């Protein structure tokens, strides 16, 4: 019999109203939102009624997505559906670390609030942005980035899709070079050059925050954004440095499959990871949490 992985999404799929239906239908989800509101007043209100611009602010996006994702995972676990492994894309890795037991729920939420604040603060120091590049190989994207002093390949998502971060002033010329190479660059709904050297100070500050945190041994295998391998004992290093390092998502999924995972449940408000996984391997099952719940209920 195959194994199940919970994979937690990152920024970009957020929308006003996310999680509301979960809280109305499942008491365990409502409890998670109640906990989040007790620590960060107005979190549920932002999730359910926040404007697009409000939810695009990193200091808001990250806690709101954490609340939605942890509540959805809690629903699955409450129904007896437990993962054999977990991974999370960027901020989703903090949710994954919480679900696997490295942090209690309150600690995980406090950490993601701090992470969002630090990353937003760092992003505001520079005029930067991100874009998804499609129709080119990872090597081609890296080669085009190499022409620029401040554009970096940062998320290796799936075959034919790499996300880049960089100075906004260099992006128009970069987009033109991508087009000339036969690709297409699509701007992302985030404010900042995440997973690049622009985030070095945020990563260092988050590491200091983690040093003060009670970190437990995870009960489920957690895969690292940085290494694409299961976590080692260096939780502080892996979880802080991923802020300024590329996300090796395609390698993570391939390693999970090699280790027996054949069903992936995307926990988040969209289907970005589900679509990526289907491009990485057409044989495995990849479903959103909404689709999975519809199948088991």
What is the b/e burial string over 256-283, where b = at least 16 CB atoms within 10 angstroms of the residue's CB?
bbeeebbebbbbbbbbbbbbbbbebbee
What token pair was written down for 296?
Answer: 């088991």
Q: Give yes or no: 90 in active site.
A: yes
The rounded distance, in Å, linking the Cα atoms of 65 and 45 is 13
Query: What sections of the chain are H helices per DSSP?
Result: 20-25, 27-39, 43-49, 52-56, 58-78, 92-99, 105-123, 138-145, 171-180, 200-211, 235-241, 249-258, 272-280, 289-296
| 11 touches 78 (CB < 8 A) | no
| 37 touches 43 (CB < 8 A) | yes
| 96 touches 222 (CB < 8 A) | yes
Please tell me which residue in 9, 44, 195, 196 is annotated as part of the active site.
195
Please tell me which residue in 90, 224, 240, 245 is annotated as part of the active site.
90
| 236 touches 215 (CB < 8 A) | yes
Three-state DSSP state, 288: strand
| 118 touches 170 (CB < 8 A) | no
Three-state DSSP state, 120: helix
The rounded distance, in Å, linking the Cα atoms of 221 and 83 is 9
Residues with catalytic function: 90, 195
């Amino acid at each position: 019999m195959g194994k199940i992985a919970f994979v937690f999404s990152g920024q970009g799929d957020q929308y006003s109203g996310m999680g509301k239906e979960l809280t109305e239908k499942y008491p365990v989800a409502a409890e998670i939102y109640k906990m989040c509101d007790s620590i960060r007043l107005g979190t549920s209100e932002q999730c359910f009624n926040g404007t697009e611009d409000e939810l695009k602010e990193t200091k808001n996006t990250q806690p709101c997505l954490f609340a939605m994702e942890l509540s959805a995972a809690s629903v699955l676990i409450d129904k007896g559906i437990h993962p054999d492994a977990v991974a999370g894309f960027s901020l989703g890795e903090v949710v994954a670390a919480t679900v696997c037991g490295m942090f209690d729920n309150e600690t995980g939420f406090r950490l993601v609030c701090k992470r969002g604040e630090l990353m937003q603060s760092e992003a505001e120091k520079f005029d930067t942005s991100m874009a998804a590049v499609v129709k080119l190989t990872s090597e081609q994207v890296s080669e085009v980035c190499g022409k620029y002093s401040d554009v970096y390949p940062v998320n290796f998502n799936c075959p034919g899709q790499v996300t880049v971060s960089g100075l906004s002033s260099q992006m128009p010329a970069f987009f033109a070079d991508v087009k000339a190479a036969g690709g297409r660059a699509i701007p992302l709904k985030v404010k900042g050059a995440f997973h690049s050297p622009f985030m070095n100070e945020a990563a260092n500050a988050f590491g200091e925050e983690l040093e003060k945190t009670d970190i437990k041994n995870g009960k489920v295998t957690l895969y690292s954004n940085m290494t694409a391998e299961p976590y080692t004992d260096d939780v502080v290093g892996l979880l802080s440095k991923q802020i300024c390092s590329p996300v090796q998502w395609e390698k993570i999924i391939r390693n999970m499959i090699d280790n027996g995972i054949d069903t992936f449940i995307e926990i988040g408000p969209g289907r970005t990871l589900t679509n990526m996984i289907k491009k990485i391997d057409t044989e495995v099952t990849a479903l959103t949490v909404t689709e999975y719940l519809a199948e088991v209920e």
